[in-house]
Amino acid sequence: MDKTDPILITGGTGMVGARLVEQLSADGFSNLLVTTRNDLDLCDEQSVDRWFDQHRPRYAFLIAAKVGGIAANIADPTAFLSDNLKIVVNQLGACHRVGVEKVLLLGSTCIYPRECPQPMKEEYLLDGPLEPTNEGYALAKIAGLRLAQAYQKQHGMKCVLPMPCNIYGTNDHFDLSRCHVLSALVKRFSDAVTDGADEVVLWGSGIARREFIHVDDVVDGMLHLFENAENGEIVNLGPGTDVSISELAGMIAEETGFVGNISWDTSRPDGMLRKCTDNTRLSQLGFRTKIALRDGIRRTILQYKQICQASISDATGATAQTTTRRVA
């Protein structure tokens, strides 16, 4: 990519998109086309087509998606399937129509079967039934990557298809109704310390295992693959190691200073019991992750504390202004 090439980034205010924009800007790319929900409705085909006709990007990083954890997926499976299908079909169709040369479509390791052999290799795709708790989201992701591959095979539009494991880190949110597990645990244990709670009750049994990747490693991996992956194959993006949710909770409890009891609500689902990628293909393409999980946890705890402190400062400022107005 040349520094002045028009480069589209959808989902540019989300966790991954925002970090990608920051990195590309720092690398000197000056013609970034960053979209948000307010200026482009990716579920609206006509809106998408008009935008592409006007801006005509040369390259595209398609990051936008409706995302959420187990609770969000269970609560709204229709939207997780329908909205994500619309988003990917509209984006890829417009990219093809205006002649985008190369597209990166960010996927997810939820595409693999529930009973997938571990670690999960790319060739295990479609070898069995999906995890029911996020089946809608996974089906949309599978349809999207197959559509991208079809565009490359039939029309020559190059596609890069990284499948990251559980992403966390800078710019993540901490809304328990829709956040992912690591951020949720950071919030739960941090709040428990602040509130002086002596117990934290968590979903499931704690035995499920997950692989985590910091968003900075995701962005570095995406950019590396964009330059080095040409054949349209999916590529697992992760460190290739996992931890149990119980182990993760213990690490976060330790880093937040929580010394109370951790209990498990086994009436709640665990989700897929293990999700760990085989990253051989990623390593062969010359990339390895750099940020260790415990270091990433510390960064996330610090971010959450900063958010809480900012919220307190804002509330204090608002109270002071109200008091001043009343005195006046």
Residues in binding site for substrate: 188, 203, 210, 270
Q: Would you list which residues are annotated within the binding site for NADP(+)? A: 11-17, 106-109, 141, 164-167, 180
The token pair at 184 is: 């949720």
Taking the C-alpha atoms of residue 94 and residue 27, their distance in angstroms, rounded to an integer, is 27
| Residue numbering of the annotated binding site | 11-17, 106-109, 141, 164-167, 180, 188, 203, 210, 270
Sequence-ordered list of residues with C-beta below 8 angstroms from that of 210, at least 6 positions apart, any chain: 165, 166, 181, 242, 243, 245, 248, 275, 276
Cα(272)–Cα(285) distance, integer angstroms: 28
Positive/negative CA dihedral, 50, 53, 57, 60: positive
CB 33 within 8 A of CB 56: no
CA 117 from centre of chain:
23
Length of the chain: 328
Nearest to residue 153, comparing CAs of 224, 96, 110?
96
Closest Cα to residue 225, out of 215, 214, 234? 234
| Dihedral (CA of 28, 30, 36, 42) sign | negative
Let me know: does 72 contact 178? Beta carbons within 8 Å: yes
User: Dihedral, CA atoms, 281, 285, 290, 291, nearest 10 degrees?
Assistant: -50
Rounded Cα–Cα distance for residues 115 and 133 (Å): 14
The active-site residue out of 137, 151, 168, 304 is 137
Q: Where are the alpha helices (DSSP H) in 30-127?
A: 45-55, 70-75, 77-98
CA distance 139 to 160: 19
Q: Catalytic site residue 112?
A: no
Report residue 197 CA to chain centroid gap. Answer: 30
Q: In Å, how far from its chain's centre is CA 295?
A: 19
Active-site residue list: 137
